[in-house]
Amino acid sequence: MRKISGALLFTLFSFFAAQSSSADLNKGIEAYNVGNYDVAIAEWQPLAENGDADGQFWLATLYANGMGVPQSDEIALKWYSLAADQGHGEADYNIGLMHANGWGVPMDTDEALKWYQKAAEAGFAQAQFSVADMYDGGWGREKDLVVAYMWLSLAAAQEHDEAQRRLKEMTETMAASDVALGKEKANAWMSKFEARQAKKDTAYAYQEAE
């Protein structure tokens, strides 16, 4: 992959950080932030090999960008896929990027949309924006402005700047009935998402109490 922005990844790290209690992961993040990739690798490699999804994601990112290791889309995809298998939304999104750009895999907009959609359903704002963009432009799917509006609304609610700008434009140009339907779909999605999150939080609290 050439190149996933480290700054973007740092902005989004907080979304997933709570899923890993490993101090080693955080040490790797700190090292990555100052460009000390050798230390990052030393912290993340054991985590990744032991099945930690965040460790797998960050190790994949090093290989995707050739940071401290030879650049390898094949190895990056391996670790992203292992993280994605554990429900890591940002890994889903980066696999979508690989398919969208033909990085280590054949370029395939249908496959890209599939992975973006998984990440979007996990609540990842950048993926929600990318799904909206594909529906708005008819890339990999029939053009659907109402669905695009729904995903833009969800991304914009997470303060995604470009989604907020595009949402304002669509609100001004779309039929009022379509805008209303898009908002209705976004509200329905959010209600289901919040219910799923509450269920996960309850299960986690129960496990911690045991």
Question: Whole-angstrom Cα distance, residue 170 to residue 137?
Answer: 13
Q: What is the pLDDT of residue 21?
A: 43
Residue 195 Cα distances to 189, 192, 198, 202, angstroms? 10, 5, 5, 11
Q: What's the pLDDT at 200?
A: 73
Looking at residue 199, its pLDDT comes to 81
Q: Are 155 and 125 in contact (CB under 8 A)?
A: yes
Q: How far apart are CA 111 and CA 75, in angstroms?
A: 19
Break the chain into its structural domains and give their ranges. Answer: 1-122, 124-210
Residue 167's contacts (CB-CB under 8 Å, 6 or more residues apart) are 149, 152, 153, 156
Name the architecture of domain 1-122: Alpha Horseshoe (1.25)
Using the predicted structure, report yes or no on whether residue 210 has a pLDDT greater than 50: yes
Q: Tell me, what's the pLDDT at 67?
A: 95
- pLDDT tens sequence across 12-25: 444 444 444 467 89
User: With 60 as the cut, is the pLDDT of residue 9 above it?
Assistant: no
What does the pLDDT average to over 52-56?
A: 95
Average confidence (pLDDT) over 47-55:
95
Whether the CB-CB separation of 39 and 31 falls below 8 Å is answered with yes
Kindly tell me the burial class for residue 44, based on how many C-beta atoms sit within 10 Å of its own C-beta (0-12, 13-18, 19 or more).
buried
119-176 confidence digits (pLDDT tens): 999 999 999 999 999 999 998 778 999 999 999 999 999 999 999 999 999 999 999 9
Question: Which two tokens mark 143?
Answer: 């053009």
Q: Please report which confidence band the pLDDT of residue 85 belongs to, taking 50, 70 and 90 as the band edges.
A: very high
In the prediction, which pLDDT does 207 show?
60
pTM score, whole prediction: 0.84
19-22: Cβ within 8 A, 24+ apart = 19/53, 19/54, 19/88, 20/52, 20/53, 20/54, 20/55, 22/47, 22/52, 22/54, 22/55
Mean pLDDT of all residues in the chain? 88
